[in-house]
Structure 1
Amino acid sequence: MCATEGEMHSARGCRVYKYRNWSVSFSKSRMPCYTVTVATGSQWFAGTDDYIYLTLVGTEGCSERTLLDKPLYNDFERGAVDSYDITVGENIGDIVLIKIEKKKYWVHDDWYCKYITVKTPSGDYIEFPCFRWLVDDKEVILRDGRARLPQDDKTRVAKQHRRKELETRQKTFRWKEWHPGFPMSIDAKAHKELPRDIQFDSEKGVDFILNYSKAIENLYVNQFMHMFQSSWGDFSDFERIFMRIKNTISEYVMQHWKEDFMFGYQFLNGCNPVMIQKCTQIPKKFPVTHEMVADCLERDLTLEEELKAGNLYIADYEIMEDITANATDPCTPQYLAAPICLLYKNSQNKILPIAIQLSQSPGEDSPIYLPSDDQHDWLLAKIWVRSSDFHVHQTVTHLLRTHLISEVFGIAMFRQLSAVHPAYKLLLPHIRFTIAINTKAREQLICENGLFDKANGTGGGGHVQLVQKAMKTFTYKSLCFPESIKARGMESQEELPYYYYRDDGNKVWEAIKSFVTDMINIYYASDETVQEDEEIQAFVKDVCSFGMQDFDYCEFPKSVQTREQLVEYLTVVIFTASAQHAAINFGQYDWCSWIPNAPPTMRNPPPTKKGQTDMKLIVESLPDRGRSCWHLGAVWALSQFQENELFLGMYPDEHFIEKPVKKALETFREKLTEVSKLIKNRNEGKKLPYYYLSPDRIPNSVAV
């Protein structure tokens, strides 16, 4: 590693360095001295009692391997900042690398190093961001904090370090197929098998079994667990447990969930605001006629005229067709449906349901339910739509399209981007703990006989089928927020003024895109610079060819040719992990804790005839007491922010040191603050405020 090598001898207060066939002596007082400052992390167990050695590597040579130790002082305590003087016997040139080594003192004691700064003899300060764990007898080599593209490295030492770093990472971060047809995931069976740098600081914080159990206890619903398979008596039974755990929105949902306006509103601003789309043609499989819905139309137009005027919308759960219902408990059959719902924008711009079919095949045993039907028939039809929406939300919108795809981006990043690459520094905060939470979920939550099977109608394998099915229509462009809105015909604010998910999402997307544009323009002088960046090209290709298994229909790019394409790609990664996940995750307790509004399973099959439904049948169709309790624990736990959560724009780990980057970061924060203010002002006085895409409530990464 050193550019020169020598042997040290001491004699009468002098140090003599032998190099080749000559030697030179220095008085100790004249030897160049570097002051090294080392910062230890403040998280639990960040400090260490192990030996820490440091070597300075310069263009002309290197320092001795120096033990960092202050006698009678406990170094490297949690949160500590320690300084040491390192003298060298000859000019080592400009510092290009520093090597840190940790050696066992008594037993291996992991250490988290935040950063190291070096003050040179000339008084200059060089920053070396680290922000990683040293485990066992680990060696870490750091470069200074300036971000560099691969083509910027000209020296043999820098190129060699970069190549070895990626070779090591590619052996550590390996792809593995969890299920056929899934996006690839990390090759680790359990959280403890993950590289230390991507593990949670405290594994207890993400123990799903422990967290769900605590949630059930804290929600005061554990008293019902002993009656696991028994039914509730009526809706007042739900209310008795709910009144202990309500919040502002969930209480409003409980009070209004039966009303058509609340049912329609959730398609726009509930947990799963991605199913609704403009209806341009009534599907043949859903033979709704004008006569059926004439009473619902307010503009003296026919159904066909309303269609042409752009006042009809549709939510089609075709993906649910033929998904296997949970059969893990033979004593309690569970059922699924694949409904279609026609929605109407009335003269007050409210979205209302006007027709529901509970299967994909019309016929005598698949009637079309209408608001004019018996109130119990209509209510049960809406409950079935809400249950199907819950399944698609949890498995496709949430699991696949935020958790699993963010893991793909994260693994490819670690495998293909050096720590000094600007895209690595940019993306790292946005994949924080994502691989860890997904690994923990595969270990406890969505595994065979996991917690998901306890309460969900798609447990026992149906959720796997759903992901496999959804992957066949999952495209890269569907992750581009404005394009995903446009593809559903939902882009016009004039036509649909109360679609806050769209409006707030566009603002956050533009703020992120503007920030990424600023960053790309700092490091890429031209489109040719993008094309010549072998690491960014390898990153994009790894995502498509390995992460997405090169599926033809996914249409993920295998390369990026322009700065504009790179900006869009990195914006997709950041937006998906931050804003999109926040929009569809943190409202789960608000919208799903009132169980009749989001049943995780149904215990009776979808009705096939009208006029046979009463309140008793509805209650008996809803989840039993035990599954209701598990469901409440789940949506509560999943809706909580991580301890010490970092929100969009918060980057306490300073991986970048360049002034233009810090200016871009400040501009980004200012734009996010402005968006938060606009959302806060709009929400003033609203009974149903929409705040899931307020930047001050958007965590940086998928971590829960």
Structure 2
Amino acid sequence: MPNYTVTVATGTQWFAGTDDYIYLTLVGSEHCSERTLLDKALYNDFERGAVDSYDISVGEDLGEIELVKIEKKKYWVQDDWYCKYITVKTPYGDYIEFPCFRWLVDDKEVILRDGRARLPQHDKTWAVKQHRRKELEQRQKTYRWKEWHPGFPMSIDAKAHSELPRDIQFDSEKGVDFVLNYSKAIENLYVNQFMHMFQSSWTDFADFERIFVRIKNTISEYVMQHWKEDFMFGYQFLNGCNPVIISKCTKIPDKFPVTDELVGDSLERGLTLEEEIKEGNIFIADYEVMDGVTANTTDPCTLQYLAAPICLLYRNSQNKIFPIAIQLSQTPGEDNPIFLPTDDQHDWLLAKIWVRSSDFHVHQTVTHLLRTHLISEVFGIAMYRQLPAVHPVFKLLLPHVRFTIAINTKAREQLICECGLFDKANGTGGGGHVELVQRAMKTFTYKSLCFPESIKARGMDSQEELPYYFYRDDGLRVWEAVKNFVTDVVNVYYDSDETLKKDEEIQAFVKDVCSFGMQDFDYCEFPKTLQTKEQLVEYLTIVIFTASAHHAAVNFGQYDWCSWIPNSPPTMRKPPPTKKGEVDITYIVESLPDRGRSCWHLGAVWALSQFQENELFLGMYNDEHFIEKPVKEAMVEFRKNLGEISKVIKNRNEGKKLPYYYLSPDRIPNSVAV
């Protein structure tokens, strides 16, 4: 009588084990085994972290084992179970791996394919084709698109984290409870003592330091000490939280009438402004997307204000970037002066503060929320809807969408919803952040997600001109490493462009992203088909890089750069000045956030800058979805390349007062999960 040995591994996360009944059926090319209860007498099966083995006897040869069917039936109360994998040892000594890495909930069954990745056109038998089709049909019912706001990328159809499919929920919802985390952060930062004076102003900048005693770190302390300096202001455009706004200026825009006479004193090479532009020494940061956005009115006791500034910057002979002109709104005129470094120190400081505040809003809402969180959710939903677990691209992308849909759902539930935490401290709360995303979507393109092209499009690709643009340099290294890894994996499964064209599932995935996730917005220019392997490599590199490296670059520095509140005010309580010479230090301090909003802001940037517990960083693939040797070898090479990049970055940072480490691979989580 043929005998099969089945080994079942239970997950190690909290509540992964189960006391429910587990049944298993082996589906072969010739016959199926009987439905067998996996149970050992006097033994507690399927404990958390357990690996249990069972012998299954069959009356006849099953042929090649194609599928494994698992069923969970309630024992006492409903008890979810996380199955990592199942292996089957055949009577002939062969071991077949069946990766699972999913939750079994209620009384539903799960049917597993063996671990070999397969394109749809390579499946031959009716059983595996049918399994593939049914899996996608079920997923498309489970993972549904929903419009959160008009003009936004589409989101998952779920109002709360608890409504999500169990496989994409966080292991512990408490770990991502924004209300709880903010409250803990405020307590840990020792700023809750100021909360009772919620709407009262600080008295001076030294007063801000009182909440900075226990919370400073190397970079934030340096920011506190140097934030007023033009060098520090300019440096952040390159290597701060939002290093994607600055562009090379090729022509002074009509709406920003800066002349040689105005800025001549700031130009140190003896050239005119026009000549400096031709030499590539002039840069611009334009916050036009902020123009007309509605300021927060959720608190009738506190007026809040926004601005849409334009800032001109200059690269000096030491290759450092300095601001040389600032206009605080988009329409020139007598009531919209151009502020200069030669103005009164308080005028110039307040103008820079307004730029930093606008930069904070664009960073949080456009660079961070839209261009990492929301777009990664689109890729994730489309992946679940169109790619079965056996598809190599599903296996490749799964670690890079881990918890993304969950964190976004939780944010919509608590953080950026109506009357959510976002409203407490941010000038774009109360709906301004929605307007900001809607405006940003009108210039959001697929190619802007391609890191090398986005750098080049802003004219920031020359290392000679900007040798200290670490975001660019480290980002290009990581992009190339990801691209090489993706290329290796793609080459294992796609031997030609024709093979790609015939892959109906990958084409459906790409179309779903464009036609549903991005709502077919023509201006976004997302592809609806992929015709070449090169296009597929770029597409998958964009998905992985956006979720990992780009998110890391714009998220985990928030506490470093934004905890010193005058450097990144989340709101302003006085309108932008319309004249020069009317500002003093008291006016500036009264413009900044009050004590309560400052505390909420600190809690926010602290909580958002923390890694998840048991974080998986780029190149770490603990769940072994791939079993093919060439892919495992590609992973080893990928980790080796990433390790070399980390060493280069570590060596460069040695002794630096302002180290840049956000794109060091050992600090880049695999996915958007915070």
TM over 0.5: yes
Identify the match of residue 562 of structure 1 among 524, 532, 539: 532
Aligned ranges 1:2-151 → 2 under 5 Å: 31-151=1-121
Rounded to whole Å, the distance in 2 between the matches of 1:92 and 1:245 is 64
Rounded to whole Å, the distance in 2 between the matches of 1:397 and 1:654 is 32
SS in 2 for 1:556: coil
- 1:343 matched residue in structure 2: 313
**How far does residue 417 in structure 1 lie from its aligned partner after superposition?**
0.2
**How far does residue 446 in structure 1 lie from its aligned partner after superposition?**
0.2
Q: Which runs of 5+ in 2 are unaligned?
A: none
Instruction: Note if 1:319 corresponds to 2:283.
Output: no
Q: Which amino acid letter does the alignment assign opposite residue 50 of structure 1?
A: D
SS in 1 for 2:389: coil
Instruction: Note if 1:656 corresponds to 2:633.
Output: no
Percent identical pairs in the alignment equals 86
Q: Which runs of 5+ in 1 are unaligned?
A: 1-30
SS in 2 for 1:84: strand
Instruction: Note if 1:368 corresponds to 2:368.
Output: no
Rounded to whole Å, the distance in 2 between the matches of 1:662 and 1:461 is 47
SS in 1 for 2:96: strand
**How far does residue 224 in structure 1 lie from its aligned partner after superposition?**
0.4
- 2:250 matched residue in structure 1: 280
Rounded to whole Å, the distance in 2 between the matches of 1:685 and 1:629 is 32
Identify the match of residue 421 of structure 1 among 375, 378, 391: 391
**How far does residue 240 in structure 1 lie from its aligned partner after superposition?**
1.1
**How far does residue 333 in structure 1 lie from its aligned partner after superposition?**
0.3
Identify the match of residue 246 of structure 1 among 199, 203, 216: 216
Number of residue pairs the alignment of both structures matches: 674
SS in 1 for 2:14: coil
Rounded to whole Å, the distance in 2 between the matches of 1:138 and 1:223 is 51
Instruction: Note if 1:665 corresponds to 2:669.
Output: no
Q: Which has the larger Rg?
A: 1
- 2:591 matched residue in structure 1: 621
Identify the match of residue 589 of structure 1 among 531, 534, 559: 559
Rounded to whole Å, the distance in 2 between the matches of 1:243 and 1:390 is 23
SS in 2 for 1:158: helix
- 1:579 matched residue in structure 2: 549
What RMSD over aligned residues (CA atoms) do the two structures have, in Å? 0.3
SS in 2 for 1:284: coil
Q: Which stretches of structure 1, 4 residues or longer, exceed 4 Å deviation after superposition?
A: none
**How far does residue 244 in structure 1 lie from its aligned partner after superposition?**
1.2
Aligned ranges 1:385-424 → 2 under 5 Å: 385-424=355-394
**How far does residue 500 in structure 1 lie from its aligned partner after superposition?**
0.3
Rounded to whole Å, the distance in 1 between the matches of 2:360 and 2:618 is 27
Rounded to whole Å, the distance in 2 between the matches of 1:493 and 1:147 is 41
Aligned ranges 1:427-438 → 2 under 5 Å: 427-438=397-408
Q: TM-score, normalised by structure 2?
A: 1.00
Per-residue displacement from partner, 1:422-467 (whole Å, max 9, x unpaired)? 0000000000000000000000000000000000000000000000
**How far does residue 243 in structure 1 lie from its aligned partner after superposition?**
1.8
Rounded to whole Å, the distance in 1 between the matches of 2:215 and 2:129 is 58
- 2:417 matched residue in structure 1: 447
Q: Which amino acid letter does the alignment assign opposite residue 451 of structure 1?
A: L
- 1:177 matched residue in structure 2: 147
Aligned ranges 1:163-202 → 2 under 5 Å: 163-202=133-172
**How far does residue 254 in structure 1 lie from its aligned partner after superposition?**
0.2
SS in 2 for 1:147: coil
Per-residue displacement from partner, 1:633-685 (whole Å, max 9, x unpaired)? 00000000000000000000000000001000000000000000000011111
Per-residue displacement from partner, 1:106-165 (whole Å, max 9, x unpaired)? 011000000000011111100000000000001000000000000010110010000000
Instruction: Note if 1:674 corresponds to 2:674.
Output: no
SS in 2 for 1:436: helix
Instruction: Note if 1:507 corresponds to 2:440.
Output: no
Q: Which amino acid letter does the alignment assign opposite residue 358 of structure 2?
A: S
**How far does residue 508 in structure 1 lie from its aligned partner after superposition?**
0.2
SS in 2 for 1:115: strand
Per-residue displacement from partner, 1:560-593 (whole Å, max 9, x unpaired)? 0000000000000000000000000000000000
SS in 2 for 1:113: strand
SS in 1 for 2:299: coil
Rounded to whole Å, the distance in 2 between the matches of 1:208 and 1:139 is 34
Rounded to whole Å, the distance in 1 between the matches of 2:31 and 2:591 is 76
Q: Which amino acid letter does the alignment assign opposite residue 609 of structure 1?
A: K
Rounded to whole Å, the distance in 1 between the matches of 2:2 and 2:130 is 27
Rounded to whole Å, the distance in 2 between the matches of 1:96 and 1:405 is 36
- 1:473 matched residue in structure 2: 443
Rounded to whole Å, the distance in 1 between the matches of 2:122 and 2:588 is 67
Q: TM-score, normalised by structure 1?
A: 0.96
Identify the match of residue 262 of structure 1 among 209, 229, 232: 232
